[in-house]
Amino acid sequence: MSILKYREREYSCHSGETILDAMLRQKVDLSYGCKQGICQACMLRSNITPPDYTQNNLTTDQRSKNCFLACQWQPEEDVCIDPVESQSFVNARVICKSLLSQDVLRLTLEFQEPFEFHAGQFVNLKKSEQVIRSYSIASTPNHSNTVEFHIQLFNNGQFSQWAFNELVLGDVLPVSEPKGNCVYSIKGTDKNLLLIGTGTGLAPLFGIVIDALEHGHSGHIHLFHGSYNSDGLYLNAQLTELSEKYGNFSYTGCVTREKSDVFFRGRANDKAFLQYPDLKGWRTYLCGNPEMVKVSQKQAFLNGALCSDIFSDAFVLNQ
């Protein structure tokens, strides 16, 4: 067992227990989200250098300040921990809510100042200290002060049920700084792009596609969107229109549980990798269902993509 020192008090941390779980067990009110090392909502600082695996995706500056993800660190020694002052949320106002499908909400937030981000990044939205969830930005960074999200409704989902049923226009929502490196890069506008998303995994991919087209991307761009049924292909009309407008953009909708004359019957990732057996020189973007993302990372590599050209965001659910 090790001892955690926090705000001049001592807490126990059992062997194999994470710092976050130990503190929550002893009723310390720490914020957290995914508990899987992705959202960074649980970031703290320590008096000693944290192990590398607890600093995944933190910036060089955060690493040098001994910041770490409390949901990842299972310490074997005593540690003094402190809150991270710079872990900032800024308030944004709800200016639009509309349904993209029966269970996907389009939520638009407005900031007082322009909100800087890269297409494809995600933020944490805070309902309360205990309910912080990650959502990908579906809009492009045109230096405006609005951002758009696609939120899937979950049965008993604490955030999504609240966003669908209680959040109203004019409400104020705390939003974290943008995070993640599944982003469009203006270096290599001639590279071919393969994008595969399931469900609301379309949100970041839509932002990336629009950003690429707005930057005059000259390589081929092919987006595969998968869902159980055609209602889940919630941007079909818009994406079809884009594919008619831009010669280098293709869109394929895929459904797994419905017979269709319009859409491919089967999984989006199976269809995509069959169609593109040679991904040498391609950039691949994978977002949505964690199982799909895991299988597709491997397949993209086997089809010839470099690891450094495979970008992904697995939409893991909170544990």
Ligand X SMILES: Cc1cc2nc3c(=O)[nH]c(=O)nc-3n(C[C@H](O)[C@H](O)[C@H](O)COP(=O)(O)OP(=O)(O)OC[C@H]3O[C@@H](n4cnc5c(N)ncnc54)[C@H](O)[C@@H]3O)c2cc1C
Binding-site member from 35, 45, 126, 133 for ligand X (CB under 6 A): 133
* 139 binding ligand X? (CB under 6 A): no
Number of residues that bind ligand FES (CB under 6 A): 12
- Contacts with 106 (C-beta within 8 Å, 6 or more apart), sequence order: 96, 97, 98, 99, 100, 138, 148, 149, 150, 151
Nearer to ligand X, 134 or 303 (CB): 134
Nearer to ligand X, 75 or 207 (CB): 207
* 227 binding ligand X? (CB under 6 A): no
* 70 binding ligand X? (CB under 6 A): no
Nearer to ligand FES, 33 or 141 (CB): 33
How would you classify the pairing of strands 2-6 and 89-101?
A: unpaired
Q: Which two tokens stand for residue 170?
A: 């004019």
Binding-site member from 42, 92, 286, 300 for ligand FES (CB under 6 A): 42
* 160 binding ligand X? (CB under 6 A): yes
Binding-site member from 2, 189, 248, 318 for ligand X (CB under 6 A): 318
d(CA 175, CA 179): 11
Q: Report the nearest approach of ligand FES to the CB of residue 83 (Å).
A: 14
Beta strands in the chain (DSSP E): 2-6, 9-13, 43-46, 67-69, 79-83, 89-101, 104-110, 122-128, 131-136, 146-152, 172-176, 193-198, 221-227, 249-255, 264-265, 283-288, 310-314
* 34 binding ligand X? (CB under 6 A): yes
CB 5 within 8 A of CB 78: yes
Catalog residues that contact ligand X under the rule CB under 6 A. Answer: 34, 38-39, 122, 133-136, 149-152, 154-160, 200, 203, 313, 315-318
